[in-house]
Structure 1
Amino acid sequence: MDSLTQIVLGAAVGEAVLGKKVGNKAVLYGAIAGTIPDFDVLASNFTDTVTALAVHRGFTHSIVFSVLFAPIFGWIVSRYESYKSFKGWSWLFFWAFITHPLLDAHTTWGTQLFWPMDARLAFKTIFVIDPLYTLPFLMFLILAMRQKRTSLKRRRYNNLGLIISSSYLALTFLLKALAFSKFEWALHEQNIEYTQLDTRPSPMNTILWSANVEADDTYLLGSYSFFDTQPITFEKYPKNHELLGNLSEHEKVQRMIHISEDWYTISREDGQLYFNDLRFGLMSLEPNSQNFVFKYRIDVDSTGQVHFTEEAKAPRDGKKLLKELWERVKGN
């Protein structure tokens, strides 16, 4: 999830663990702890694109990290804070650390919660930014912070935030199941044979859902809003995996395929090869768009090494997509 959401979650967890004993300091340290797992993004400054992608939401988003580092941070804080409980501070950091990847597991990218096992837990029920999850949560946290640390209202406000946000997360599973069934029915009605169907919410809402459908040599992309009145339609995107040629055996290419969970297409534009990760869809709702959210240029240097470079996204594309999404959410 986005940084603000993780700060709010960490702060609320910190309040739940130690708020009664240390007041708003629990909120502060919970907020800090809630951001620490995302420090893995710094890897992109020291390594290549493929390695950075593999590291992202890996070790720092695991149970192992939470267990190992919570006592370390707990000991450090207990050394200089007036509240000296090593156990109390360690418990705060553990719960702030572990709830971070548990929330991220609901997104499309997922987390390697069980690292060092090379598997991502990704429920794909919520977008990385969802105001319906974050804003009510934030409101109740602010209300809690305004109360005295021993106040019953303080605990009630904080608990309400945790309960409402968790209930919304639970609701997203039902919404995903409903959307999945709609896509299944549309594929059946249109006599489309397929091998895989993958669904995810569109940006910043759980009303409009997207689907990736794998057929023999193509992928089909479709969308469905709970306000739709017309049948679901699908657009075809050729896999073009053969364009990789001998590059398909290269170690970095294999890693990218693994990272994308085999949801990828290869495109050639002006003689340049591109790797398109389909899991996150397109930056446009226009028919036959090739503007993928995650698109990587493939280059081969003089030594035969393969390099992936993410194509930059223009700010105007994001603004245009938000306008298109707003119209699409309202139905077709």
Structure 2
Amino acid sequence: MDSLTQIVLGAAVGEAVLGKKVGNKAMLYGAIAGTIPDLDTFIGNFFDTITSIEIHRGFSHSIIFAIIFAPLFGWIISKIESKSEANWKNWSWLMFWGLFTHPLLDAHTTWGTQLFWPFDLRLAYKNIFVIDPLYTLPFLIFLILPMRLKRTDPKRKKYNRLGLIISSIYLLIITIGLKIYTFQKFENALEAQNIEYHRIDTRPTPLNTILWTANIETEEAFLIGNYSVFDTQPISFYSVPKNYKLAEEIEDDPNLHRLIQISEGWYTFSKENGNLYFNDLRFGKMDIEDPAAPFIFSYKLSEENGELIATETEKELTDAKALLPRLWSRILGN
């Protein structure tokens, strides 16, 4: 999830664990704990693109990381807050839950997380977009309310608990319920249109859980379709050719296989101005319904010193701004 959401979650968890003893400092250190796992993004800047992708949401988002580093961070905080009522064990417990709930939340996004690192198992439930105001804003409101109260005020615990309960209901019941409902809609549409397919993958579109998109793999292409719970017209699909023949010369390259593994097999190739591109389908395109729109995650493949190099294509901010009005219109139904 985005940084603000992880900060809010970490702060709420910190308050739940240690708020009664240390007040707002529990929120502060909980927020810090909720931020730490995403430092892997900074570390990734020192590596090539493929390695950086592999590192992201890897070790720092695992149970092992939380177990190893919670006592260390707890000890550091206990030295900084030596006059606090909380001891090393208290701070370590707070840090553990702050570090651990971060990947638990990320597991619900499209990218997922390697919670059980070093095992090659990425959890990605794909039931919430990385930025979802309906999850974050109510959570934030119920976090701000207790911040204004004394640590001994019983309303403080009540407000924080309400924030945790409401956000959890939205994440674990509403979004998963909508994923199941929309998945069935896509399956029914494919059956009604007599489309044979190998597998199907669904996820919410940006900033909401009302409009969903599906990737469907067929023999020669991927089909992409969208469905809003407000739709009245049948679901339509457009085709994206796999174009695997474009990469025949490098089909055995180990770096290419690393990219394929990262994409979980949801990928196509394309050529533009003589350059070969690897497109990750899991995150869709910059336009919700335009087949010609660029992919959100696309990598130019080139060779340097005999090694296959992947370079992520830059995304223009204007593309994202142009997407929002069309996205809102599509959310309201066809």
TM-score (norm 2): 0.98
Please say if residues 44 and 55 of structure 2, whose CA atoms lie closer than 8 Å, have aligned partners that are also in contact.
no
How big is each residue's C-alpha offset from its partner over 1:21-40, in whole Å with a ceiling of 9 and x where there is no partner?
00000000000110000000
CA-CA distance at 1:287 after TM superposition: 3.1
Q: What is the alpha-carbon distance in structure 2 between the residues aligned to residue 290 and residue 205 of structure 1?
A: 21
The alpha carbon displacement at 1:19 in A equals 0.2
Structure-1 residue corresponding to 2:257: 254
Q: Which amino acid aligns with 2:94?
A: L
In structure 1, distance between residues paired with 2:14 and 2:34:
9
Which of 260, 272, 275 does residue 272 from structure 1 map onto?
275
Aligned to 2:31: 31
Q: Which whole-Å CA distance do the structure 2 matches of 1:20 and 1:100 have between them?
A: 22
Unaligned runs of 5+ in 2: none
**Residue aligned with 1:210, SS:** strand
Q: What CA RMSD, in Å, does the superposition of the two structures yield over aligned residues?
A: 0.8
The 5 Å alignment of 1:135-150 reads 135-150=137-152
1:107 aligns with 2:91: no
Answering whether residue 217 of structure 2 is matched by residue 235 of structure 1, we say: no
CA distance in 1, matches of 2:3, 2:111: 15
Rounded Cα–Cα distance in structure 1 between residues aligned with 2:288 and 2:74: 47
Residue matched to 1:316: 318
- 8 Å CA contact retained: 1:235, 1:287: no
Quote the Cα distance in structure 2 between the aligned partners of 1:286 and 1:132.
24
Counterpart amino acid of 2:188? Answer: W
Does 1:157 find its partner at 2:159?
yes
Distance 1:211 1:111 in 2: 21
- Indicate the larger mover: 18-27 or 285-294: 285-294
Tell me how far apart the structure 2 counterparts of residues 265 and 280 of structure 1 sit (CA, whole Å).
13
Deviation at 1:214? Answer: 0.2
- Counterpart CA distance in 2 for 1:139 and 1:229 is 35
Q: Which residue identity lines up with residue 249 of structure 2 in the other structure?
A: N
Shift of 1:246: 2.7
Match of 1:204 among 195, 202, 207: 207
Match for 2:167: what amino acid? S
Measured after TM superposition, the shift of residue 285 of structure 1 is 2.7
In structure 2, the residue matched to 1:300 is 303
Q: Which amino acid aligns with 1:308?
A: A
Which residue of structure 1 aligns with residue 42 of structure 2? Answer: 42
1:289 aligns with 2:295: no
For residue 245 of structure 1, report the CA deviation from its aligned partner: 1.3
Q: Is the 8 A contact 1:294 1:311 kept in 2?
A: yes
Encode CA deviations 1:62-118: one digit per residue, 9 max, x unaligned: 000000000000011111212251110000000000000000000000000000001
Moved more, 75-84 or 142-151: 75-84
Residue 251 of structure 2: SS of its match in structure 1? helix
Q: CA deviation at 1:43?
A: 2.6
Partners of 2:290 and 2:51 in 1: how far apart?
Answer: 33
CA distance in 1, matches of 2:285, 2:332: 19
- Aligned pair 1:331/2:326, yes or no? no
**168-177 or 239-248: bigger deviation:** 239-248
In the alignment, the residues of structure 1 paired with residue 216 and residue 143 of structure 2 have an alpha-carbon distance, to the nearest angstrom, of 40
Counterpart residue identity of residue 225, structure 2: G
Cα displacement string for residues 181-228 of structure 1 (whole angstroms, at most 9, x for unaligned residues): 000000000000001000000000000000000000100000000000
Corresponding letter in the other structure for 2:321: K
Q: Which amino acid aligns with 2:52?
A: A
CA-to-aligned-CA distance 1:265-324 (integer Å, 9 cap, x gap): 0001121100000000000134322410001101112x3211111110111100011111
CA distance, structure 1, for counterparts of residue 148 and residue 290 of structure 2? 50
1:79 aligns with 2:108: no
Match for residue 4 of structure 1? 4
| Residue 140 (structure 2) pairs with residue 133 (structure 1) | no
Larger mean Cα displacement after TM superposition, 113-122 or 240-249: 240-249
Judge conservation of contact 1:220–1:235 (CA < 8 Å) in 2.
yes
Q: Distance in 1 between matches of 2:233 and 2:40?
A: 43
Q: Distance in 1 between matches of 2:209 and 2:97?
A: 27
Question: Could you tell me which residue of structure 2 aligns to residue 123 of structure 1?
Answer: 125
Residue type of the alignment partner of 1:282:
K
Q: TM-score, normalised by structure 1?
A: 0.98
Please say if 1:69 is aligned against 2:76: no
